[in-house]
Structure 1
Amino acid sequence: MIISHGRKPIKTSAHVLYTIEFITVLGDKQVGTGEEIRLSCETNTEGLTVTWEKDGEKPTCVQDKHIMKQDGTKCSLQILNADERDEGKYTVKVENKSGTASCSAMVIVELKEWRTVQWKQNVMVDSLSKLKMDNDQVRELNFLLYGPVGAGKSSIINTVKTIFEDHYCVICPVAAQSTKSYTKIYQKYNIRREGVVPLVFHDTMGVEKGETEGVRTDDIISALKGHITEGYVFNPILQILKQNPQYHKNSSLCDMIHCLVNVIPADKIAVMDEQSIDKMKKVGEAASILGIPQVVFLTAVDLACPLTKGNVHCIYRSKKIKENMQKCSNLLGVPVNCIFPVKNYHEEIHLNEDINCLMLDAVAQIIHRAHAFVVTMATNTK
């Protein structure tokens, strides 16, 4: 047997074989639920053994739904009436005695929209800007951002301020991708639009793996109770002491956090370490005991899902985002209806209405929850 490379033949006693090459390869597909998926490619030779895989495994084929064809140098896979189970990475492998070759494509199936957003920025901003506190004890709503290093806590503040102030804001320092927290000081940020909107976001040090790394769980619980004042320097080794000047002993409802906002990156849920998850669950349990509502802002949705990266408007038609929301719910014990995917500004230089509306929708949700908490607590203390 004589073996050669490229387009040169491999001669055998029975026939001539060619080293396999693809003339055309599979192309990525994006379809809606109920539509048809057609994947096809062409090789430089006939008589190949063809096998298909989906996400690295042999696909489960359904009669009259999955149709595989091989016609000379061409091979194809047709999937009728696509649904969310058909989303994934498809690979075709071709083989003869000269060797094997393969190519792959990503298929995205848009779900029917399962949650709606009011994609009208001016209406949403005007509505939220008119928010007035009618409670004698509380003049502004306090939101605490809490989550792993690099999750986007500080970026959320920058994004919200950018939307309300109508120009790109980087008022809250943000670090590049790192395993160590950039934020060291407990800092609060007001939101302004033709005056001060009664919303205050409190930024915290990031959660890290290890008992003496990152923000201490005890400090976050103290912050929830209103015992920590602005300017406190987080100490990963030692929790805040009552004699510390930044410890507020006689805290009231106006000092408390009115909604805990857990911040989780959608593209890193699967690799979160157990220690960080346990710390966040402990804080969540403390919030529940205090009656403080808690939600999750799921960031980096553009990195977690190709569909969302291309168009944030598709966020609630994405199977990947829906799956990540469920994973997040399972990890932290937060209901899916309290989880809101958002996208922060990080590489954009111009304002984007879809990014703004998605964030405004999430902000409206936490305002509703925080306000309800304040009303309930104020009523109970009368």
Structure 2
Amino acid sequence: MGGAPPPLLEQPWRKVSEKYRENLEFVKSYQPENKQVKHLRILLYGPVGAGKSSFINSVDSVLKGRPAVRAQTNAISEKSFTRQYKTFKFHKNPGATYPFVLSDIMGLEEDFDSGVSVKDVKLALRGHVTEGYKFDPDQELKEGDYGYNSHPTLEDKVHLLVGVVHADSMSMLSAEMVKKIRDVRLAASELGIPQMVIITRVDEACPEIKKDTSNIYKSNYLKEQVEGFHLQLGLPENCIFLLKNYSHETESNDKVNAAIVCALKQMLLYGDDYLNLET
């Protein structure tokens, strides 16, 4: 008999829960093989409101074992809340940090004269944007400007580019937004920088996930979203990850953590592959 497919598959199409402890141990013990850098740099980019800052907070929450708020977020405004180029380090203890960082950038917006300029994102990829630079949608950063790094080191450059989109956005991404994302992706490809996408707010997109976060990779709907982003953005499906960011939780939750750690482990692996090519 026909009919709609069941909302949940019997088996997950990607295993995260079973490997949570193993993946977390990898993340906490990771060290770059390339000794020219102290930190592997991951740049987050994507449309306004996709959850870049929330992902930074979620990573901090996982590493600390409790919900944490490092990056400021705003769920009300349709404009980017992040205005500056800001890099987040994560503390192991008072005297040491984990050897990877997440760099946050102003969000992409549909209009050509709002949001971060695609050219500014490309400059960030090459390490030309200094920490704390305030993005101006009306004026792209150029050599000689305050905030332009003329001599970036390997440490300044981006080692992995991560697009952030929310689960219900595939049908809402305009042609202009898709073009901006593809332009950024092409620039990263030309530089040999590996790329991933994380799909956030999965609990809002799928009722079955809201009931039980561990079912993320059993959801037929979310599997279709991954396939759709694969076709729309041109990324392989094994470079697209689903997760729920910490939002209302007041305690650590292993079911939430598992998908975050799965994605983070892959980020470190892909970024390390890039750094090894630069040795």
Which range, TM-score by smaller chain? over 0.9
- How far is 1:111 from its partner? 4.7
| Kept in 2: contact 1:207–1:214 (CA 8 A) | yes
Q: Equivalent residue of 1:193, what SS? A: strand
Q: Which amino acid aligns with 1:204?
A: I
Structure having greater relative contact order (Cα 8 Å, sep ≥ 6): 2
1:172 aligns with 2:71: yes
CA displacement 1:133-182 (0-9 Å, x = unmatched): 23231121000000000000000000000110222211100001331010
1:311 corresponding residue in structure 2: 212
2:156 corresponding residue in structure 1: 255
CA displacement 1:173-225 (0-9 Å, x = unmatched): 00013310100011000012233111100001111011101000000000000
Structure 2 unaligned runs (5+)?
none
| Kept in 1: contact 2:17–2:255 (CA 8 A) | no
Equivalent of 1:346 in 218, 225, 247 = 247
Instruction: Give the paired residue count.
Output: 277
- How far is 1:125 from its partner? 2.6
Normalised TM-score (structure 2): 0.95
1:130 aligns with 2:41: no
Counterparts of 1:212 and 1:253, CA distance in 2: 31
- Larger CA deviation: 308-317 vs 368-377: 308-317
1:211 corresponding residue in structure 2: 112
1:143 aligns with 2:42: yes
CA displacement 1:288-320 (0-9 Å, x = unmatched): 000000100000111111121211211111110
1:113 aligns with 2:12: yes
Counterparts of 1:123 and 1:328, CA distance in 2: 28
- How far is 1:109 from its partner? 4.2
Counterparts of 2:203 and 2:272, CA distance in 1: 30
Counterparts of 2:186 and 2:135, CA distance in 1: 21
Counterparts of 1:115 and 1:125, CA distance in 2: 17
Using a 3 Å threshold, how does the CA distance of structure 1 residues 120 and 111 change in structure 2: closer, same or farther? closer
Fraction of identical pairs, as percent: 35
2:271 corresponding residue in structure 1: 370
Equivalent of 2:131 in 230, 241, 248 = 230
2:189 corresponding residue in structure 1: 288
Counterparts of 1:273 and 1:177, CA distance in 2: 21
Equivalent of 2:237 in 317, 329, 336 = 336
1:82 corresponding residue in structure 2: none
Q: For 1:175-186, list aligned pairs within 5 A.
A: 175-186=74-85
CA displacement 1:217-249 (0-9 Å, x = unmatched): 000000000111111000111111211232111
Structure 1 unaligned runs (5+)?
1-64, 67-84, 88-106
